[in-house]
Amino acid sequence: MRILVLGAGGVGGYFGGRLVEKGEDVTFLVREGRKKQLDKNGLVIKSVHGDITFEPKLVTTNDYDAEPFDLILFSTKAYHLHQAIEDVKPFVGEKTIVLPLLNGIAHIPLLKEAFGEEKVIGGLCFIETTLNAAGDVVQTSPAHRVVFGEFNQQKSDRIHQVAETLNGTKASFILSDYIEREMWHKYLFIATMSGMTTLMRAPVGPIRQSEGGRQFIINLFNEVAAIMKAYGAPLSESIVDDHMNTMEKMTYDMKSSMQRDMEKGSLIEADHLQGYLLRLADQYNVEVPILKAVYQHLKVYEFTQKGSALR
């Protein structure tokens, strides 16, 4: 399969790079600035699972003469989603499959509307990566996993072809029969973890071990889960307990990607993650005082960042 990876940042650069390492036909869709950097230095991945450097195949948004791709890994941040959809459209053909790796759920209807419901499959990833000052992809934790599958829970011929293409790399690509449930479970975890670490401006360890910290985490998990259950999301009965067990096992210094973005003064996905949940909470009359405090803190951060840019 011919694969197009949207972007060559921490997520797309890493998973696309592992597919290149395996020998798959991978092209990266990048902006001109990133292209110049990659043309000069190559795509460099520094990982606990092994380093690689290679010269990537690149296209930009100006390269409209490219043929459609078979599979597109949609690995943008939510605040770039609308522009990314427009950037990708010229590379989508009749049989193209779009595999999104964004956090949350709100992007799925937008992708289906833009590309056609039949083209979009479910997906998510677990990874801790960042780009360093040189533009290298730095991956620092054991987790480097993509989960994907058909929304209708069918084992289609195309999903088997996707699985065969993605398997066999140093990263884990896992085919799920229940991808919608997997996506909601991840959404519950990431909304809680990003919410608590940004609100407290601290990694998991200090929050977990502070007085009342564990109960605070459980309460936030329960608020988010209550919204999802009111909406009708397919959560397992034990998911809050399962996520708390995962939280207990995380390293003391583990940070959410949103916390790292805030520390760098970057854009964040507040509206896509916590904001979308609050809209559902209002719709279904679910009281979520902790989540409201989390979201207000994120909006204050966005306001101060915008104010700094205007000074």
- Confirm whether 186 is a catalytic residue: yes
Q: Which percentage of the chain shows pLDDT scores above 70?
A: 98
Mean pLDDT computed over 148-163: 92
Which residues have a Cβ under 8 Å from the Cβ of 305 and sit 6 or more positions away?
265
Q: Mind listing the pLDDT tens digit for each residue in 80-128?
A: 999 999 999 999 999 999 999 999 999 999 999 999 999 999 999 998 8
Q: Mind listing the pLDDT tens digit for each residue in 163-220?
A: 999 999 999 999 999 999 999 999 999 999 999 999 999 999 999 999 999 999 999 9
- For the chain, the average pLDDT equals 94
**257 pLDDT more than 90:** no
Catalytic residue among 77, 170, 186, 292: 186
Which among 205, 143, 198, 152 is positioned nearest to 174, based on CA atoms? 143
Mean pLDDT computed over 127-147: 90
pLDDT at site 308: 61
Every domain of the chain with CATH number 1.10.1040.10 lies at 182-310
Every domain of the chain with CATH number 3.40.50.720 lies at 2-177
pLDDT at site 311: 47
pLDDT at site 64: 63
User: Which CATH homologous superfamily contains domain 2-177?
Assistant: NAD(P)-binding Rossmann-like Domain (3.40.50.720)
pTM above 0.85, yes or no: yes
pLDDT at site 152: 84
CATH number for the domain formed by residue range(s) 182-310: 1.10.1040.10
Residue 67 token pair: 């043929």
